[in-house]
Structure 1
């Protein structure tokens, strides 16, 4: 009688395990979160951060400069990278590199994660990222009708900020024409959009020589707004990239 009971318990246990059953879906896959608060060693840290969980099982993190990504295992309430966390190698200023290093250190330390409703919390010791769905925090702004202010210059793998104290350079797209206010020469052109590409035909410009910090912003805009340029709007940021590798990044005012 005892042998029969033991055998029955083993059968019931095996049935409870449901061999071959599909694992529970990952609630993070296919979602992008933006930081609403960052804690560094117990103290608040002001910085931007987005974390995307792709449909194919990767995590992509973007802080102030480089992009980090890797295949991630989210089971067990931890983020564990299989094969490590790879990063791009853009040259940025010291502050941006420090923010990248902080994010890489937290994510690379197998932090815990918890999803409560739509709020995601990632914790590693006294470091914590509080995040919310991107669409709730920062819906994508419209390319047309938004005033975009230049903040980052990109040349291949090197990114730099606009010079301190420089007057703001802005772009406005009205559906047919793009106008750049560079505080020096007039920059204006007609454009058409095809998917994620803008085809720009700049009009004639004056050739005044202005202060170096002004010319730096103007030259960057003119160098990018020429011919077919790829563009991406993510939340309140616009990225324009020329086939030459030159690019500019702007934020919505």
Structure 2
């Protein structure tokens, strides 16, 4: 088990890629802290993970866009485990889709606050905690999106936020490499998550026609890449982005 004894902190853990990431990292031996704005969903994730993998996993309520909420969550982790997490996975993200001519300022701000500012705050606060505890082997994985690279009609806020996540990851990796903290991003394509399932069928059909492999990805397929980046098999990889898109 390649992550035995490691402590993993996953945001957006209540569903989709975040939930699958909790399961895959627990399978590989990590202790899991599942954090989500919806505590009930985070509890469900941990109940399932704990039933399958008998370790000390916990769930937390967390608003990644709120600095005080993150401070409180990290305080609980330190109290529970006596150390900060050394695997951090930023899966928390939202959509507020609309055409740019109709997109409200509030919906633009909310997506940037969760997807980009939330990633920044988690990276900053977790990195500081890791350094303060004298740990020099940590991996932070941020969820970008292929939409952040190519754009998509009706998603100007989402595309901007995910493009920002990728550049934030690259820049922070340069600053933190000498602290023993690696940062990488994963850029999923169209994955069968609750977020994607809410997309109208005619839009899904359009997307599917552009995927050479002819199908959407599964959350577990993203989680396996995250697990690779979390462990020592990727020890010389930092500042990169891995596309997981079926060839899109």
Query: What TM-score do you get using the length of structure 1 for normalisation?
Result: 0.24
Q: Which structure has the higher relative contact order (CA within 8 Å, separation 6+)?
A: 2
Who wins on radius of gyration, i.e. which is larger? Answer: 1
Hey, which of these two has a bigger chunk of strand by percent? 1
Hey, which of these two has a bigger chunk of helix by percent? 2
Query: What TM-score do you get using the length of structure 2 for normalisation?
Result: 0.24
